[in-house]
Structure 1
Amino acid sequence: MYGQIHVCVRELVLEKFNQEAWDKIIEKSGFDERVDFMVFHKYVDEKTFVLIGAVCEVSGLALPAVLEVFGEYFLTYCLRHGYDKMLRTLGSDFESFIQNLDSLHALLAMSYKQLAAPSFRCETDENGQLWLHYYTIRPGLYPIVIGLVRAVARDLYQQHADVEMFKKTTEKVEGGKPQEHVVFKVTLAASKRTSVVARVEENKQNPCTSGLLQISPDQFCAALPYHIVFDKNLKIMQCGTMIQRFVQNRIKPGTKVSAIFDVIHPHMNFSIENIRMFINAVFMLEVRQAARGNCKLVLKGQMLWLDDVSHMIFLCSPRLTSLTELIEMNVFMSDIPIYDVTRELVLLNQQRIAEIDVAKKLDETTAELKKTSEALEYEKKKTETLLYQMLPEKVAIELKNGKTVEAEKFESVTVLFSDIVTFTNIAAASTPLQIVSMLNNLYQRFDQCTNVHDVYKVETIGDAYMIVSGVPEENKNHAREVAHFSMDMIREASNVHSPVNNNPLQIRVGIHSGPVVAGVVGLKMPRYCLFGDTVNTASRMESHGIPGRIHVSPTTYRFLEGNKYQFRDRGHIEVKGKGPMNTYFLLGTEASLSEPKDEYTNLPLVRTPGDMSPLNGINGNDKAVERAADHCERHGISPNQTSKTSPPVTSKNQSSTCVLS
C-alpha cells in the first residue's frame, strides 16, 4: 500500500485519540516517522497490517471496528486533501458514485503506478434493493467498505445508509489472482435521488431509442475509430479504422479478439464470463504485435453488453499518459479523435507527472532533513550535557544566549575539599597510566554521588576534589547535603585500591560554611569560580584533617543542628592563618559511618546542639568560646596551645583559581 494510507492512519489516531497514543503505536509497530510515511512511496501490505495491528492493540478495539472507523475517516481525509471536487462530481447519486469508483481508481493509477485497487459494482433488483459487489485481492478488509459507504451516503448525498454484509466468497478469476468477493445489502433512506430503475424506464421512453436513425458499419467505424465488437465466442464482428492501423496483421472477420489482444486489467483470462463479472471496471487491452513504434499499444476503455444482439462492444482510446509515450508508440495527436479527452489528458498528465516527481523528491528531502535534524538535536544534547558538566546549567544557558553573567554573593553556602592520603608517594611509585586510571575510577564514583545530592562540583586539581552546595541555586539545607555527600565519598573511596599495595584509598575531607562570591572567570575556557574566606577556611579544614575522617568547622557544626548527627569533639586546634578553632569530626547519623581505628576514637562523642542558631563567623559566638574553654580545661590544654592530637600544619599547596589564601 502507498504511504498515503499510513498518513491517513496517523491523522485518524491523532484526531480520535492523542499524541501519546500515537507514540505508543509507533513504538509497538516499529515504524519510523521519517521514512514510513512518504505519500508516493509503495510499502508492502504486511507493513501496513502491522501498523493497523498496533492501532488495535493500543486502542483496545477489534480489527473490524478499527477498519470500519478507518473507512469512514478515509473519505474525510480525501475531502480535506484536495480530492473533494473530484469526489463530489463523481456521480449524481449514490449508485452512480459507486459505479464510477473503478474509473476513479484507473485515473489515480496514473499517479500511483503500482496501485492495486479493489473493484466495485452495483446492482438493483426488481424490488429496487441495492446490492454492492466488492472484489479485492486483499482478504479481510471489507469492514473498510462498510464505513466508507456510510460516509459517502452521509457526507456527499445527505442520506443514511444501512450496510449489511450479505455473503462473502473467494473467487478464482481465470488467469488472475484469487479475489475476495463480498456482497453488501445497502438500504438508503428516501431522497430526491433518481434510482437506477427510474432511469432505465426513462431511457425506454427516450425517442432517441426508437430506431428511426440508422448508420452504416463503415460510417460507424469511421465515427468511432477505436472500438471493437465481438460475440460470445470472442469473434470480432467489426472494429474501428484506427484499430486496423495499429495491428501488424490485418484483422479479418471471425478472428478472435483474444488472438490479437491480451487483457492486462483487470487481471483475468479473456472470456465473456470474466468480462461480465467486472463489467464496470476499466479494461485495458494490449496489442500483441504492434505495427507502429517500439512499444505495444494499450487500449483503455469500457465494455458494454448489447442485449439486442448478444454482442460485447469495447469503446476505447489509446492509453497514453505522457508525451514520452506518444513518441515511443509513434502516435500523433491527429490519431486521436477531437471529441476524445485523451489529448487533454496527455497534456494535463504531463504536468501532473512533473508535480509528482517534485512531490516525491520533497518527501525524500523531508525525510533526510528529519534525520539530519534528529542527528543535530542529539549532538546538541551531547554538547549541552558536556557544557553543563563544566558550568552550572543556569550559568551555561545565560552564556549560550550571549548574556554577561554577573558575579553574585551568596550569604550562606557549604564548601567541601578532599584529597588522597599519601598521594605523592602513590604517584611516585606508579606509572602515569595507573594514576590516571585510579583517579578516573575515584572521581567517577564521586561524580555519581553529585547526582544524588544537591551539590555542584567546582573542580578537581590533581587529587583535590572540591564541591559546594547553595551555589548557583540557593539551598537552605546546603550543610546537610554536603554532609551526606562527604559520607558517601568516604565509602566510595574505600572501594578504590591503590596501584602500589592494593590497599583501599583513604581521603581527608574538610567542610566549612559561610558566605562566598561566585562568578565566571575567563573567555577562552570560562570557569565558574568561588571566592572568599569561606573557601580558604574549607581548604584549611581539609589540610588539617585526618585520614578517613570528615573534618567540620564550628560553623558547619551549627548548621547541622537538629539532624541527629554524631560528632567527635576534636577541641581547640591551631589553624594556619585562622588561629584557634574548636572543630569536629563528623561520624554520621546514629553513628552510620564506621570510624577508622585511630587515636581519635577516644575523643568525646557529641551531637549537634538543638538550642543554638547557625553562626556567621568562623570562630563562633560567645557560647562556642565558652564550650571551647570548658573542653580545654577538661583535657588540660591551654587555650593558646594546639591539641596534642592535632596534626602538624601542612604546607600543602592550595593554589587554585577558586581559592583565595
Structure 2
Amino acid sequence: MEILTQSEEKERTGKKEHVIFLVLQKAKRPKRKTKKTTNPESGDSHIDKEKALDVAFQKVENYSALSCCPEKKSHWDIVRSVVKFGKGKLSHTFDPVYPERLWVEERTFCNAFPFHIVFDEELRIKQAGVNIQKFVPGLWRPGSRVDKYFTVVHPQVTFTIFSIRKFINSQFVLRAHREMLPDSRRNQPMLKLRGQMIWMEAIQCVMYLCSPKLRSLEELEEQKMHISDIAQHDATRDLILLNQQRLAEIELSNQLERKKEELRILSKNLEAERKKTETLLYAMLPKHVANLLKEGKKVEAGEFNSCTILFSDIVTFTNICSACEPIQIVNMLNSMYSKFDRLTSVHNVYKVETIGDAYMVVGGVPVPIASHAKRVANFALGMRTAAREVMNPITGEPIQIRVGIHTGPVLAGVVGEKMPRYCLFGDTVNTASRMESHGLPNKIHLSPTAFRALQNQGFEIVERGEIEVKGKGKMTTYILRQNLHATENEIMGRAEKQHSSHTDQTEADDLGNLVSKTIAVMKHADSQQLLTSSSLAYEAEARLCNGEHTKGDAEQQLSDQTRTQHFSDGNAQSRLENEHVSTHLTRELSQVHFRKKREDERHIVDRY
C-alpha cells in the first residue's frame, strides 16, 4: 500500500484530511527446491521451465499493478487475464489523437461559448465569453479578478485555486456581486451561472464553462435576456422551454379546476333557478299539466262532468280603492291572498286565477275527485275566517267578502304559449260568478246543484229563498253556515295549540282590532297627531303582549300622550275628539286586561 497524495483542509467545519492510497496485490510464488542431478541436459531443462514460470508470474504481477484490483482471483482467472492482456486488451485500447494546433479562432470560440471564463492561479481573468461580458460589464478589464465579480454558491468553499481543484468534479454555481453590476441591473435578481471547472495543466489556468441558471421564461425576462443569448448546444434552452411547457400545462390544469368549480357553482345556481321556475310553473298550472309541458308533450283539453267552482270578492272594494293609497290596497290584497293560497294547499283545491279583488278556485279539476264539493265548501269557510284577520285600511275593521259556489260540468285546457294558463270554460263558470255577485257580505252563497252536492255531508245549510239571478232567472239559493264535524283549526289547517297560547292570540287580536278602530276614529285629526297616536297605540300593544307593561302602564302612557297632543293642538274640536279617543282606548284596554285575567284563572282551574 502506497500513499499517493495527502492534503489538509481547514475551512468551514474544521480539519479534514484527504489521503489517497494505492493498494496492490502481488502473488508471490515460493521458490521451488530443485534436486541436484548429474545429468546436464536434465538440469538445463529445469532451468528453462523455471524461467518460463517466472516470466508468466511477472506478467501477472504487472497486470495486477495496472488494474489495481484489490480482490483475489482464482488460478483460471489469472490465466484468462494473462491471455487477454497479451492479445485482446491492447488491440481495443482507445488512444485519442490531439491536433498540433487549435483550429478555432478566438472570436469563434468566444461566440460559440458565450458564457465562459478563463482565469489563472491568482484568479486574474484571461478570457471571457461575449454574453458574460455584456451582462457583467467591466469583467474584461486588465487585471480583473474573478472573485471580485462573482462568489461561489455551490459547493460551499472559498474561491481559491486549491479549493477549485479539490472539487474539480463538482458543478460550480457562481453568483454575481450586486455592487459590480450597472445601475440598470441592480434592482433585478442577481445573475447566477452554473457549469464545470476545467484545470488546464499546460498553461496553469482554469476554464469555467457555464450557462445562466434559469428555469423559466419569466426568469429569463427578469434578467432581460433572450433565448438567443444562450448557445444552441446548451441544454439550458431545452430546460427553459420544457419548464415553460410544464408551467403551461399546470396553468391549464388550474384553469380546468377553476372552470370545474365555476361549472359546479353554475350548476348549483341553475338548479336553484330551475326549482324557482318549477315553483312558478306549478303556481300557474296544475302539477301534472306542468310536468307534461316540461316533458314537451301536448296537453289536450278535457271535459269534466262534475266539479265545483268558487268565486269571491271584497265588499265595497271600489270605495276602499278610492279612499286609500295604492300601496295600502296592494298590502291588503297581498295579505289576504297569502292566507287564501295557504288554504288551497290545506284543502287540495286549485286556484285558477285572481283578477283584482276576485279570487277563483275549482275542485275536481284537473284531477277528478268525488269530494270536490266538500273540499271547496271547507275552503270557503276558511276564507271567511281568514278574511277577518285582514283589516280595512279606511275603517280599521275586518274586511267583508262575498263567496259564491256552483257545481256543474266544465271544459278545461291550457291556453297560450308565452304565458300558458289553465282556463275553465262553460256555463258553470258564469253561474258561480252570479252566485258571488248576488251574495251577501260574509256569507257563502250556494246554488241548487252545490246544495245537493253538500247534502248529508255534515254542513249546516239554510235556504235563502228564491231570488232573481241575472241571465238565469229565478233561482232558489242557499247559505252555507258551518261544518258541523270540523273545528275552526282543522278548517284553517292550524295545529291545536295550548289554551294559554290561544288566549294570548285572542288578546293580541282584540288589541289589534282596538288599535285599528282607534286609528280609524282619529282619521280627521291632524296628520302628525295621527301618526304619533298610531305609533303610541302599536307600542302599547307590543309592550302589553310581551308582558313589559301592565294594563295600568299602558293606560297611563296613552292618556299622557293624548293629553300632550291636546295641549300642543290649538283646535278645541281636535282636543275633544282626542279626549274621546283616549277614554275609549282606556276602556277597551281595561276590557282586554279583564278578559286576559279571567282566561288565566280558567286555565289554572283546568290544570288542577
* Same-fold status (TM-score > 0.5): no
- The TM-score range, normalised by the shorter chain, is 0.3 to 0.5
TM-score (norm 1): 0.41
